Structure 1
Amino acid sequence: MKALKIAGLLSLLIVGGCGRIASPGDLLHAPNLANEEQALYRSVQPFLPAGYQLTTPDQSDQGSAIRLADLDGDGEEEMIVSYKKPDTDYEVNIMILTKRGGAWQKADQITGSGMNLDYLGIKSLTEPSSSELLLGYDSGSTGLPRELFIYSFSGGKAEEIFHESYDQIAVGDLIGNGLEQIAVVPPAVDAEDTHSQIRLIGEKSGKLSLLAERRTDGSVLNMQIEKAATNTDGLFAQVMSTTRSGYAILLAWKNNDLVNVLSLPQQSYDERMSRQDLKLGAPDGNPDLSLTENKWWIDYPAKNRDVDGDGILETALPTPMPSVESPSGTPQLWSDSYYRWDGNRTMTFIEDRFWQWGYDLRIPGRWLGKYRIELPTGSENAASEVRFVYPTEREDGSTVTLPLLTLRQMSSEAWNALKPVLESRQSEYVVLGSGGSIIPGNTSQVTVALLPDGNGDLTGDAARDYEALRLTIAEVHELAGISTEDEEEASSDVEKH
């Protein structure tokens, strides 16, 4: 049987990387210009000082070292180039080139203080016909904030028009006026103070100004501006505090104000176990997000993402998984339930995802409300096995718990012993992958999904209901998001180990 490897992975926290020297594939990102990469690279080379190399930003709306954009609104694109000296940790350079008479010429240069370029964006902030250049510098030193500088470009010169320190940044058209706004989380002033702020900066009377500010009672994580409903962008973030695990927020611009639409009454929050649509309360416009109990409470910062590929970001709600009664001390497992905002007062349930051992499995919709989780206790598999089971009754009235899918992680030696047993009785299984050990003393682990044999001696309606819940190999493939290439790679990995 071919091995199948799950491709999807969840990142629980978004962590910025370090600036790096650009590879050839990072040099340029601009529409319809793939064939001109080398020509533009050659155009840049005469302007690079000796010993300097192109470098890519950690965060970028287009992620490249050479960019083309019309900064001044004259209809002609400028070339924006980021570069630094590899052995110099305290400055990053941005060069702006303009084309005159068919040849590129250096117009201006910006030198920023920092170990690397954390953020580079080219956005229309004050005028739709032109764009501003956003540069965020990271000092690389603990305790020192990142610094955001915004420049306008006119007459061949770059002029600084805004500066602010930040811990996080997100940019997008939150207001819906055709311009983009900047959300920043300023760095903490006091390391012992867990409070923070979200500041929204945008155009006001032709200049960049503070449009709104929201205070929080914890650290802001995973901030991003994305499409939140059919015709609305929103600011997604999570606030993690010490008094409770935390809460998710979705800020939208309503009636000239920034409001948190994830105002979830306690009754709706308690109904999350049903995995049904949730009714929201009135949008919360309080400048202090901590002053209401109607929160989208979360026990850990699950990542918001577009799980159904419709271009709209879903909000994650960690939810306890339904479990078979177990002895006290058995760990509670959680799934990430994803909801899409309807733009009004409803969060529509989309799907459940279960993350375990680095693998991300979508739970079938037809299982919801019917399956349970069972963890083995007092056995060698207690720390490395998760069972999805179906409790039902036989015709004689006896209760039985039947397997739907078993996820097991074991040593390669144990797998080599189990595999021929499964194949001798023609049991179906899927090899999810192999890698490092989660159990001390074992160097190689194989993760498999085991499908059940038989129907548990059920008859009549009970047998039909159970059969309707069972998965095929193809469905495991789909639920895991696996391609043919993943199958071949996982097969090769298992054979190597």
Structure 2
Amino acid sequence: MKKRGGIRTAALALALSLSLSGCFFRGADELYAVPQPPKDYEALKVRLSEVIAAGGEYAAPLSGELIQTVQLQDLDGDGQKEAIAFFRFSSDEKPLKIYIFRQVGEEYEVLTVIEGAGTAINCVDYVQMDDEPYKEIVVSWQMSEQVHSLAAYSIGPGEVEELLRTDYNSYKLYDLDQDNQQELVVFRTPTDGPPQAELYDFHGVLGKTDTAPLSGGITAVADGGVQAGYLMDWVPALFAVSTYGGNGTITDIFTCRDGKLENITLDPDMGESRETVQFYTQVTGTDINNDGIMELPQPTPLVDYKITTATPNFWLIHWRQFDAQGEAHPVFTTYHNDRDGWYFILPETLGNNLTLARSDLPGGGERAVTFSYWEGDEAVEPKPFLTIYKLTGTNRVSRASLPGRFVLFPAEGLAGANDANTIYAAEFRDGWDCGLTEDEVRERFAIIKTDWLGNS
């Protein structure tokens, strides 16, 4: 199907800026009543009501960034936005419908309808996959709780062309080859073959152009378990995190060179990305130092002083960047305290000579971790150099003001502590000189972002 240039709409952005953030409604309690919009939207409201009167019910996407029931997108690149609405007709053979409306004069009309089978629309994306001004629509149809079908569509007035359809475990849309167009990478773990990543690109038609293996020891790539980011030298890459070894994860890093998809961390002899295996899964890849390059964690269990347990009490996290050849380069090391919601960048002079100890007060109002220099000799006691406190409760300000303590967060210090439910403070200990000032401790301390945590 040749894409047609007849899509025209009226400007829709102004009215939606009134607290609607690009959508008409969000909450479940609002799914059956469109809010009272400005007069420009009365015609669209009439068309939505007609769909409902014909037996439709709103069926917003279940996941992803776009989960509104009615969405606005400039699908033809003319600077004006079409309205896309999601419905379910329970009695139809293909019950799921995506209505696309355009404005003609003072009226709205249906431009086209995308129909799908399944129980729900899992997620939707609007992306530029070729050099034409039109966006393609990528839809994940939920066939059952465990099975999803991925399809991409090209649209025009009154017609829809399905460009591809495939099953998947996870997928990502990203400009891997830096041609200003989105490529689609689908991750699959079929029962009748090895796990692999599949590259779909637009060359006249949208089709599979290459494949690359995933690590052979994986169980599955989780839906949504793929991150997009940059390697060193600003090479775009996809970071696919899969379950591995029962309770661990492994990360495969994919790049695209000359149209070829490559797993740059895969050891060809072992068939796995052994360099990125981790069994402490509370942290995932992130740009932890805010330089625009993705860092991956390499957790290492920390030896406790005079404590012998089967499970490590503390872990160090070595953060590393990767180059386009799959080689790892260290950035820094942190102690990552997901229990108390903070992390700390360790002094470089410390090396591996560290042990930690908790000393929480009864009642939970003061939780403390003490850092000590220790060379691993059980006969020599560790030398404490820093304690970091998490303080809650009504006496948190007075506890943060005890002699020797200084506030790490909130940033305003004690001046802003009365407005904070939690205060983080620190105190130098005299066992070993870590070489840091109070300001340097503050610079190395940070609150954990909740989306880093594997269980969040």
Match of 1:254 among 251, 254, 257: 257
Alpha-carbon offset, residue 133 of structure 1: 1.0
Quick check: 1:405–1:449 contact (8 Å CA) kept in 2?
Answer: no
Alpha-carbon offset, residue 184 of structure 1: 1.9
Distance 2:167 2:352 in 1: 50
Deviation larger for 159-168 or 37-46: 37-46
Distance 2:318 2:295 in 1: 9
Quick check: 1:134–1:148 contact (8 Å CA) kept in 2?
Answer: yes
Output the amino acid matched with 1:66.
Q
Match of 1:242 among 236, 239, 245: 245
Larger helix percent: 1
- Tell me the secondary structure at the aligned position of residue 181 of structure 2: coil
2:226 counterpart of 1:226: no
The number of residues matched between the two structures is 391
- Tell me the secondary structure at the aligned position of residue 313 of structure 1: coil
Output the amino acid matched with 1:67.
L
TM-score by length of structure 1 reads 0.64
Alpha-carbon offset, residue 83 of structure 1: 2.3
Quick check: 1:78–1:99 contact (8 Å CA) kept in 2?
Answer: no
Question: Deviations for 1:386-428, whole angstroms, at most 9, x for unmatched residues?
Answer: 3222359xxxxx9761231244689x6xx86x986775x5242
Distance 1:88 1:401 in 2: 72
Distance 1:129 1:228 in 2: 29
Quick check: 1:150–1:162 contact (8 Å CA) kept in 2?
Answer: yes
Alpha-carbon offset, residue 174 of structure 1: 1.5
What are the residue-to-residue correspondences of 1:35-114 with 2, within 5 Å? 42-48=42-48, 49-50=51-52, 56-60=60-64, 64=68, 65-71=70-76, 75=78, 77=80, 79-84=82-87, 91-101=95-105, 103-114=107-118
Output the amino acid matched with 2:261.
L
Distance 1:86 1:368 in 2: 64
Distance 2:340 2:360 in 1: 24
Quick check: 2:85–2:100 contact (8 Å CA) kept in 1?
Answer: no
Structure 2 spans left out of the alignment, 5+ residues: 1-18, 26-36, 411-420, 449-456
Distance 1:378 1:100 in 2: 67
Output the amino acid matched with 1:480.
A
Q: RMSD over aligned Cα, in angstroms?
A: 4.4
Quick check: 1:202–1:211 contact (8 Å CA) kept in 2?
Answer: no
Question: Deviations for 1:222-248, whole angstroms, at most 9, x for unmatched residues?
Answer: 113333344421111123223783421
Identity percentage of aligned residues: 16
Alpha-carbon offset, residue 97 of structure 1: 2.0
For 1:202, the equivalent position in structure 2 comes to 201
Distance 1:371 1:310, change over 3 A: same
Alpha-carbon offset, residue 250 of structure 1: 0.8
Question: Deviations for 1:164-211, whole angstroms, at most 9, x for unmatched residues?
Answer: 122212111112333222122336548xx9x63322222245332242
TM-score by length of structure 2 reads 0.69
For 1:403, the equivalent position in structure 2 comes to 385
Distance 1:100 1:67 in 2: 16
For 1:173, the equivalent position in structure 2 comes to 175
- Tell me the secondary structure at the aligned position of residue 161 of structure 2: strand
Quick check: 1:404–1:469 contact (8 Å CA) kept in 2?
Answer: no
Greater relative CO (CA pairs within 8 A, separation 6+): 1
Question: Deviations for 1:51-97, whole angstroms, at most 9, x for unmatched residues?
Answer: 656654344466653122234x6x47551413235999994321112
For 1:459, the equivalent position in structure 2 comes to none
Distance 1:199 1:332 in 2: 40
Distance 1:164 1:350, change over 3 A: same
Quick check: 1:296–1:317 contact (8 Å CA) kept in 2?
Answer: yes
For 2:371, the equivalent position in structure 1 comes to 388
Alpha-carbon offset, residue 359 of structure 1: 0.7
- Tell me the secondary structure at the aligned position of residue 46 of structure 1: helix
Distance 1:378 1:81 in 2: 53
Output the amino acid matched with 1:220.
V
For 2:446, the equivalent position in structure 1 comes to 480
Distance 1:181 1:78, change over 3 A: same
Output the amino acid matched with 1:133.
I
For 1:451, the equivalent position in structure 2 comes to 426
Distance 1:307 1:479, change over 3 A: same
Distance 2:287 2:155 in 1: 35
Quick check: 2:301–2:316 contact (8 Å CA) kept in 1?
Answer: yes
Quick check: 1:174–1:234 contact (8 Å CA) kept in 2?
Answer: yes
Quick check: 1:126–1:206 contact (8 Å CA) kept in 2?
Answer: no
Structure 1 spans left out of the alignment, 5+ residues: 1-22, 30-36, 264-283, 393-397, 434-445, 457-461, 483-497
